[in-house]
Every structure is written in C-alpha cells, then in structure tokens.
C-alpha cells in the first residue's frame, strides 16, 4: 500500500451536543433547547476526515473501544477515505464521549471525553509510525496524553516528517519550554494566552497578535506559529515574515471543529505545494464554510465545494 501523505496521532471519540440560546455565565442556569448525538470524531478523527475529504491521503493512529461509539467512528472515517489500519479496536477500553454546548450564534463550550487513546502505549505508536514512515506530515495534539504525544512528535521529526502540533487542551502544568522539533504550532487566542500564563480575555483592538506569536515562539521554539482568532481572522509568524489573513464574512451557526478544519486545510495546501500565505487564505475559507454547517463532520467539505464557496465570497 502506498504511504499516506499525512499521519495523524490524536484522540478519536465523539459525544453529544447541547443546544442553548446563549452560553451560560458561571453559576447561571439556562434552558436546554435540544440534546443530540453529534457528528464529531474528536480532534484526531476530525482532522483525518477533513484531510481525506479534500483528497489528501491520510492515516490515523489511535485506540477505540469495541463498542457502538467505536464502530460508528470507524464507519465515519472509512466512509471519508481515511486509512484506519493503525486504529486499534480494543475490548478493554471505552470510546471517549464528550459534551459540546452550542449557542445560537455558533459560540461553544467543549468538554472532551476521556480518550480511549489514553491506553495507547509507546510501543504501539512507535510501531505504527515505522509502518507509516513514508508520510511527509505528522499532525498531533493533546487529547492524547502529553508525554506520549511529544515523544511521538520527536520521533516523527527523526523520520523526516514535518510536525504540526495543536497543544489543546492546554495542560494544567503547561508545556515543556523547548519544542524545537515542532514545525507548525497552531493555537487560538485562548490557548495562546494560557500558554503564556496570561488570563484568557476577550480579544479587542489592543490585542498584540505579533507580540503573542513572538512570545510563543521564544518560549516554545517552534519554527512557525499560527494564531487563529475566529471571526477576527488569523496570523502567522514564519521567521521574520508576519502576516494577517482576513476572515471570510459569513454567519456562523456552529464553530465546533473550526480549528481542526483550519489545521487540516493548511496541511492539505502544503501537500498540494501551495505557498504558506496562500495556504492560510484557503484555510480561512475552509473553516468559514465549516462554521456555516451544524456539527463538525458536515462542515468538512470536499475541494470543489470549498473552491465554489471561496469564489462566491471573494
């Protein structure tokens, strides 16, 4: 079998959406409009499906339960074209299920279910990475335990892969200071502030995006920093090159999975050989389309749909 272009290591799960008119304040009670099973695969499965639907050859490493949720997740990934040979189905774990609270304006609060990938061993991950060593890109994040993920990221670098890392959810104790084996470091504004030891505040006109990106690069030493601000656009710091990508103007209905889609779209464009600034512009359109759809997986479109959307919103 031909090696995939992208190898993903992150959680495979899912869960339920709770729909509300607006997000509650701390200690406030709000009425639920509806609770539904979400078309969501957690960060690993989401990125893999988004890549596969864009026509990018993608394999995913993970562990899921031999249960209803696990079978559903495998079906969704295989239907999208994800290579799932490195997904271990185990009767000894339960597939993680989380909760998303979704407001009418698309804002959300996400609580990730405990990852069945928590039971992955280094030996299992290392063996899978060796089998997939022809991949050019390695995408990972922290819905799988951090020591395993960082060890795998270093190994991916040794195997010659470009390492793309989203440190979410941000661990309570922070990250190790030196992540110089990470090529592309993806964060949103909340994650960025937490990683710098700052209070997570609303982004306003005084938000110093370049200062934040430079502080992240100085502290964690990745090659590039990508900072996404939702409807306020995104930034990239690449060497001395710092640029802003404006948002695509749309009405959001569900922002769940938008960051996963953005990362996947950047990776897809790099696989296609596009320049970095063009990759970010295309990814902005991709994630904009995603938030016009309810739930994660329906928002991950194929290339033709995204191109038509971008043409209509140019």
| CATH number of the domain within which 110 lies | 3.40.1190.20
Asked if residue 85 belongs to a domain, the reply is yes
Nearest to 61 by CA among 147, 163, 130: 130
User: What pLDDT score was predicted for residue 115?
Assistant: 67
Asked if residue 177 belongs to a domain, the reply is yes
95, 73 in Cβ contact below 8 A? yes
Q: What DSSP character marks residue 171? A: P
pLDDT over 60 at 281, yes or no:
yes
pLDDT over 80 at 105, yes or no:
yes
18 forms beta bridges with: 35, 101
Give the whole-angstrom CA distance, residue 234 versus residue 27.
Answer: 32
Give the whole-angstrom CA distance, residue 247 versus residue 170.
Answer: 25
The total domain count for the chain is: 1
User: What pLDDT score was predicted for residue 2?
Assistant: 67
Asked if residue 158 belongs to a domain, the reply is yes
Asked if residue 1 belongs to a domain, the reply is no
157, 181 in Cβ contact below 8 A? yes
Q: What is the 3-state secondary structure (H, E, C) of 184-203?
A: EEEEEHHHHHHHCCCCCCCC
Asked if residue 54 belongs to a domain, the reply is yes
Residue 136 is part of which domain span? Answer: 6-312
What mean pLDDT is reported for the chain? 92
| pLDDT tens-digit series, residues 248-277 | 999 888 887 899 999 999 999 999 999 999
| pLDDT tens-digit series, residues 34-65 | 887 778 889 999 999 999 999 999 999 999 99
| pLDDT tens-digit series, residues 116-171 | 777 899 999 999 999 999 999 999 999 999 999 999 999 999 999 999 999 999 99
137, 54 in Cβ contact below 8 A? no
pLDDT over 70 at 27, yes or no:
yes
Burial class (CB in 10 A: 0-12, 13-18, 19+), 9: buried
The pTM score is 0.91
Asked if residue 110 belongs to a domain, the reply is yes
Burial class (CB in 10 A: 0-12, 13-18, 19+), 262: buried
pLDDT over 80 at 308, yes or no:
yes
Asked if residue 133 belongs to a domain, the reply is yes
Asked if residue 172 belongs to a domain, the reply is yes
């Amino acid at each position: 079998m031909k090696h995939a272009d992208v190898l993903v290591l992150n959680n495979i799960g899912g869960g339920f959406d709770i729909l509300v008119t607006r997000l509650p304040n701390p200690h406030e009670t709000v009425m639920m409009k509806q609770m539904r099973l979400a078309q969501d695969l957690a960060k690993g499965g989401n990125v893999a499906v988004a890549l596969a639907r864009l026509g990018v050859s993608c394999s995913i490493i993970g562990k899921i339960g031999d249960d209803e949720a696990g079978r559903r997740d495998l079906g969704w990934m295989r239907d999208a074209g994800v290579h799932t040979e490195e997904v271990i189905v185990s009767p000894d774990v339960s597939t993680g299920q989380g909760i998303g609270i979704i407001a009418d304006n698309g804002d959300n609060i996400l609580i990730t279910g405990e990852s069945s990938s928590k039971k992955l061993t280094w030996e299992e991950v290392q063996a899978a990475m060796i089998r997939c060593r022809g991949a050019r890109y390695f995408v990972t994040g922290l819905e799988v335990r951090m020591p395993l993920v960082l060890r795998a990221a270093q190994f991916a670098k040794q195997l010659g892969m470009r390492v793309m890392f989203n440190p979410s959810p941000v661990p309570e104790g922070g990250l190790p200071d030196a992540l110089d084996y990470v090529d592309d470091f993806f964060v949103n504004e909340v994650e960025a502030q937490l990683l710098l030891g700052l209070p997570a505040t609303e982004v306003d006109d005084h938000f110093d995006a370049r200062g934040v990106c430079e502080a992240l690069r100085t502290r964690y030493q990745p090659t590039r920093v990508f900072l996404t601000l939702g409807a306020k656009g995104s930034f990239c710091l690449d060497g001395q090159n710092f640029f802003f990508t404006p948002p695509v103007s749309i009405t959001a209905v569900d922002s769940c999975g938008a960051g996963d889609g953005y990362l996947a779209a950047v990776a897809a464009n790099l696989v296609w050989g596009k320049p970095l600034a063009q990759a970010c512009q295309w990814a902005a359109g991709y994630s904009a389309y995603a938030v016009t759809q309810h739930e994660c997986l329906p928002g991950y479109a194929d290339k033709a749909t995204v191109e038509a959307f971008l043409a209509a919103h140019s």
